[in-house]
Homo-oligomer: A and B are copies of this chain.
Amino acid sequence: MGMFVSFDNWHGCDADGCGACAVRSRAICATLPPGALRPLREIGRHRSIAAGQTLVWEGEESLLVANVIEGMLKLTNSTGDGREQIVGIAYASDFIGRPFGERSNHSVTALTDARVCLFTRAEFDAFARTHPELEHELLKRTLRELDRARSFMLLLGRKTAQERVATLLVDMADRLDDEGEGFELPIGRQQMADILGLTIETVSRQLTRMKEGGVIALPGRRAVVVHDRPALEAMAEAA
């Protein structure tokens, strides 16, 4: 494992440890009063993760939790024979891992090179248990995640391939397309398929259909331009 993992050369109580943190104002730490930040900092460690590396395995003991500082990670569940479903994506400032539980229900794998602020679950649990503001923030985030997961259950259980792809594009556009001038997909076709519960071929065909219908353009492998947003939204909802 050591060969895949690199620790930054600071850890714990550093002069500019959290102050300089890229997600200081957006991660759960933001809820803590200044005085409580120091003890949390002392149990946290920065770690870099290479794309493709898995931080937590489905079904294994829950030993780690973390804040995402930079990069993207996927949360996945798999069947015994290798079928995979992405059940969540963690971006910068998101919290990952399973506090207050014996085992992790899903794997966590880096989609891009990433950096996280890591805690052992035991230490984090103990800290959180004594800091209600932190638990409150965690509760709010977990409730939001649960809402998102349940919305996705509707997509996976009841929506057609076209609706699924359109829904994903609308979500991505909302997240990434500030200027309305198109955006870069942060993931490839296979991962789109793993999110949507489809095959890579079906995703590709649906994108092609939308392109031929003039709803979107695909100027590159990862590039998407939405030409007709209302049409895309209509596709996402009804059919």
Contact = CB atoms under 8 A, between A and B. Distances in A.
Interface of A: 75, 77-81, 83-85, 87-88, 98-101, 105-106, 129, 132, 135-136, 138-140, 142-147, 149-154, 156-159, 196-197, 237-239
Nearest to A164: B157
Contacts of A139: 100, 135, 138-139, 142
A220 B24 CA distance: 59
Given A135-B136, A142-B139, A153 B239 contact: no
Given A79-B159, A79-B238, A146-B149, 16 more contacts: A75-B150, A77-B153, A79-B154, A81-B238, A85-B158, A87-B153, A100-B140, A101-B140, A101-B144, A105-B147, A106-B150, A135-B135, A135-B136, A138-B139, A153-B156, A156-B157
A113 to B, nearest CB: 25
19 contacts: A75-B150, A78-B154, A79-B159, A79-B238, A80-B237, A81-B238, A83-B159, A85-B154, A87-B153, A98-B143, A98-B147, A100-B140, A101-B143, A106-B147, A132-B135, A135-B135, A145-B146, A146-B146, A153-B156
B79 A158 contact: yes
B196 A157 contact: yes
Give the number of times this chain occurs in the complex, counting copies: 2
Contacts of A77: 150-151, 153-154
A139 to B, nearest CB: 4
Nearest to A139: B139
Nearest to A152: B153
